[in-house]
Homo-oligomer: A and B are copies of this chain.
């Protein structure tokens, strides 16, 4: 007990001591040091030890740290100061067990071994989400799940209870995961939507169909009739909707749909390069390309430049632009005419909305549509001829 008093006196004493002050304590053999620069302890300090040091009960210390009103202001300050000096922070697992809240959110990414379609978007989406989690005090736990193990995985995620909610990435057309998660009963939010299903789940999405409808209309208005679509695999919901928008615009203009002008695959530079090269070499090449990702669009531009053609004059290109930090679409005037919607912003919004859902499970599930503006860049112009 004497050691504890000594510590208390010292703690209240004020200036941090540069010397390593050691205080023996009868209950533990650990040597306490008051300086963060000193030897690390074998094990972090816990609430019991902290409260013994302060000559307070665990109850009071816990309440002081968590901002409950039942503690005197002076006591609270003393507790906070000690916690700071001993670098105490509560064990998250124990806290989680006691409160029933994990304070972390799971991001589940389907790992189709064929197409890692989300890879290029990933860094930026996560960056946005993390910004939100940091302010909300949540952790982000990430799981990439092979397609065939998904169901098992979602069940476990609930039972294991180390996340309070899930963000679902890369929804597919008729994705069964929504129903699954609904049955399992874990709060979740979908980044994207599921075509062919009532929107009775929480989601954050953009209007892919409308975006590509407008993009295609724009190309048609410029006189283009042969417009190629370079899309992600159309089992992905977003890709399917983009295709619908594209086709709707062609139909309303009385332009037939030419399957030879549609190419699908991963969102890779080489898809853009390869598909554009191949199409441009045909007898009756397209005069415009519509791309589902700026990664693809850069490949298309390369194919165009390689042929000595000029993008925006000989060949027009419109792309969806996720505003990836490493592939900026020009500095002042955009390089590509694009339907633009920041994936990072989407990440932030998803995180915020899911945190709100968890905080208040009673409130209706949000269905948020982010804007996807059609912005004009230098990659489009009147169809030649």
Contacts and interface: CB of A to CB of B under 8 A. Distances in A.
A18 interface: no
Contacts of A267: 326
Contact of A140 (B121, B142, B159): B142
A92 B40 contact: no
Interface stretch (A250-258, A281-289, A294-302): A294-302
A63 interface: no
A165 interface: no
Contact of A127 (B116, B121, B149): B116
A342 to B, nearest CB: 13
Contacts of A159: 44-45, 87-91
A123 interface: yes
Interface stretch (A51-59, A94-102, A203-211): A94-102
Interface string A93-130: 11011000010100000010000101111111011001
A270 interface: yes
B325 A298 contact: no
Given A97-B93, A161-B44, A331-B270, A12 B122 contact: no
A12 B151 CA distance: 10
Interface string A53-86: 0000000000000000000000000000000000
Given A44-B158, A44-B159, A143-B130, A328 B268 contact: yes
Chain A: interface size category: 35 or more
Given A36-B183, A111-B130, A116 B325 contact: yes
Interface stretch (A3-11, A214-222, A236-244, A367-375): A3-11
A93 B95 CA distance: 9
A252 B234 CA distance: 54
Contact of A268 (B7, B89, B325): B325
A126 B107 CA distance: 12
Contact of A122 (B94, B122, B161): B122
Contact of A149 (B8, B36, B141, B269): B8
A379 interface: no
Contacts of A141: 104, 139-142
Given A134-B146, A267-B326, 19 more contacts: A36-B155, A40-B185, A88-B159, A90-B159, A92-B162, A93-B97, A97-B97, A111-B127, A119-B127, A120-B324, A126-B144, A127-B144, A141-B141, A142-B142, A268-B326, A268-B327, A270-B328, A295-B326, A305-B306
User: What 5 A-B pairs are tightest by C-beta distance, nearest first?
Assistant: A122-B123, A305-B305, A119-B123, A40-B185, A130-B144
